[in-house]
């Protein structure tokens, strides 16, 4: 049996302002109506396929679970990483836990943020590598390069493996400069390093024992001391923090004697920048990608994405323009890799725009902060049918709720009331309260907060169906 392992960590800082720490690119619908993680799971059309194993940051757990539910996929497990440690610890976690799912499955390790053009060729190539994995090989998939790309690592093919389309791995290479990238392309011996792998669980564990036994020990302890939290596996944070921060390539693939590479002949991108997203997207007759409310005059070769307002351009070329409710990015397409420097500046200035959107998703729904000053803020809150916010209180703020549509079941101190459209309630500072949507349609309400401190950490929870009492 084949167990897909979907690595859904990372923050996608080069795709700011759409990608944020608490809602990164793998959960965004950047190239289709589905999100990147939904596309990754949906493109798998293989025989003997187990439900996927998902690895993600604990902050993203409800987003990942909800997006899988939207495409009717129930995962084998969702393992929560307390912090990012790169791909080697993540793959070790998946390999060890997979033995509790299936008797020594073949692991197909995929990143959640790749764009792959030809789904049929992708599945045929994966299928062709299964025998190699069954024979104990550690397979990686190399993309046949279409241009002298400087943003990817490369792998040099060695000797052909008889009776297969695979090659021995000669050497790994870091991202080259333009001259070297052209030489790699011209030689025909180099493939882009895709970061996709296939191997038996027991086989990769043996390789960790050979080359990184300390890392394997940390991961085993973290899993042994893990806790089940609703549908999630919450590994022990203290044990996991002892793991080195290292990629699977460095830890295993560059050392193993069992590594092989299988060429994958399809358009592919890891969407590492706005320029790469522009290249992977469908464009109009002027070579522009346009999304949202836009008007363009004499504009060519641009990526323009409006999330909240009209964007009008005149006489522009080779630009990235991205609008969200709280930020606008305008960049030369060639400088799109430098968006991460803007994110670093935001962190230095202790701002929040790198971390969260104005519209924030929660397991019960979402809220949009539509106005705020030092002693008040106004939110539009959407509560999904059947969902309930935690039973809670605040030390520093009072709240006033006005129902816009739907029905609200409200606990306010010692009383319980039902509110419908245009009705409201006031919750003083220090009063225990709860909000629930008992209806069949979304509950929409306006919340006005007032007080000396309005931070999200001023919440004392007493009951919570989503396991957030810690």
Distance CA 435, CA 428 (A): 15
Q: What is the distance between the alpha carbons of residues 35 and 16, in angstroms, rounded to a whole number?
A: 16
Classify residue 43 by burial, with Cβ atoms within 10 Å: 0-12, 13-18, 19+: middle
> Among residues 11, 87, 90, 10, which one has the least CA distance to residue 53?
90
Provide the 8-state DSSP code for 385: T
For residue 372, give the nearest of 266, 462, 451 by alpha carbon. Answer: 451
So what's the pLDDT on residue 87?
A: 95
pLDDT of residue 470: 57
Compute the distance between CA of residue 262 and CA of residue 291 in angstroms, rounded to an integer: 36
State how far the alpha carbon of 293 is from the alpha carbons of 50, 118, 278, 310, 323, in Å: 41, 30, 18, 5, 10
Q: What is the pLDDT of residue 466?
A: 84
Please report which helix (H) or strand (E) contains residue 275, including its range: helix 274-280
CATH superfamily of the 359-463 domain: Jelly Rolls (2.60.120.10)
Q: Which residue bears the tokens 């799109």?
A: 336
pTM recorded for the entire structure: 0.89
Domain boundaries, the chain: 2-269, 282-344, 359-463
Per-residue pLDDT of the chain (470 residues; tens, 9 = 90+): 999 999 998 888 999 999 999 999 999 999 999 999 999 999 999 989 999 999 999 889 999 999 999 999 999 999 999 999 999 999 999 999 999 999 999 999 999 999 998 999 999 999 999 999 999 999 999 999 999 988 899 999 999 999 889 999 999 999 999 999 999 999 999 999 999 999 999 999 999 999 999 999 999 999 999 998 878 999 999 999 999 999 999 999 999 999 999 999 999 998 989 999 999 999 999 999 999 999 999 999 999 999 999 999 999 999 999 999 999 999 999 999 899 999 999 999 999 999 989 888 888 999 999 998 989 999 999 999 999 999 999 999 999 999 999 999 999 998 999 999 999 999 999 999 999 999 999 999 999 999 999 988 899 999 988 877 65
DSSP 358-425: SEEEETTEEEEEEEEETTEEEEEEEE-TT-BPPEEE-SSEEEEEEEEES-EEEEETTEEEEE-TT-EE
For 2-269, CATH number out of 3.90.550.10, 3.40.50.11540, 3.40.50.2300, 3.30.1490.190 equals: 3.90.550.10
* Cα distances (angstroms) measured from residue 69 to each of 4, 26, 37, 63: 17, 16, 12, 10
Joined together, the tokens standing for residue 411 give 């606990």
């Amino acid at each position: 049996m084949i167990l897909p392992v979907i690595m859904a960590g990372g923050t996608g800082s080069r795709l700011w302002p759409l990608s944020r720490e608490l809602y990164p690119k793998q959960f965004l619908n950047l190239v289709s109506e589905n999100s990147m993680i939904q596309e990754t799971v949906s493109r798998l059309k293989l025989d003997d396929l187990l439900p996927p194993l998902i690895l993600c940051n604990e902050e993203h757990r409800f987003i990942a679970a909800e997006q899988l539910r939207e495409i009717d996929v129930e995962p084998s497990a969702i393992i929560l990483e307390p912090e990012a440690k790169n791909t080697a610890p993540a793959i070790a976690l998946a390999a060890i836990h997979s033995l509790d799912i299936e008797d020594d499955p073949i692991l197909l390790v995929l990143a959640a943020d790749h764009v792959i053009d030809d789904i049929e060729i992708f599945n045929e190539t994966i299928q062709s590598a299964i025998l190699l994995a069954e024979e104990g090989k550690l397979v990686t998939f190399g993309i046949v390069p279409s241009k002298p790309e400087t943003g990817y690592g490369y792998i040099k093919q060695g000797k052909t493996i008889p009776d297969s389309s695979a090659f021995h791995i000669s050497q790994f290479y870091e991202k080259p400069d333009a001259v070297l990238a052209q030489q790699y392309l011209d030689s025909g011996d180099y493939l882009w390093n895709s970061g996709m792998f296939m191997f038996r669980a027991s086989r990769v564990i043996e390789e960790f024992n050979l080359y990184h036994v300390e890392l394997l020990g940390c991961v085993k302890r973290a899993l042994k001391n893990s806790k089940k939290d609703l549908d999630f596996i919450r590994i022990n944070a203290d044990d996991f923090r002892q793991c080195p921060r290292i990629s699977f390539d460095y830890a295993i693939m560059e050392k193993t004697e069992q590594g092989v590479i299988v060429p994958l002949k399809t358009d592919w991108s890891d969407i590492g920048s706005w320029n790469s997203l522009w290249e992977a997207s469908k464009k109009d007759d002027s070579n522009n990608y346009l999304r949202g409310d836009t008007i363009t005059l004499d504009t060519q070769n641009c990526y323009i994405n409006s999330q909240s307002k009209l964007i009008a351009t005149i006489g522009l070329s080779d630009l990235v323009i991205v609008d969200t409710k709280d930020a606008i990015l305008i960049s030369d397409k060639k400088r799109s890799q430098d968006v991460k420097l803007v994110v670093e500046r935001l962190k230095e200035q202790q701002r929040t725009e790198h971390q969260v959107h104005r519209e924030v998703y929660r397991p019960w729904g979402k809220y949009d902060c539509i106005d705020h000053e030092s002693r008040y803020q106004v939110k539009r809150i959407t509560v999904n049918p059947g969902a309930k916010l935690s039973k809670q209180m605040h030390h520093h703020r009072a709240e006033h709720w006005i129902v816009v549509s739907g029905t609200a079941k409200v606990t306010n101190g010692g009383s319980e009331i039902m509110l419908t459209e245009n009705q409201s309630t006031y919750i003083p500072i220090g009063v225990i309260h709860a909000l629930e949507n008992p209806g069949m349609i979304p509950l929409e309400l306006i919340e006005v907060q007032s007080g000396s401190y309005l931070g999200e950490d001023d919440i004392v929870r007493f009951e919570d169906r989503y396991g957030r009492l810690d």
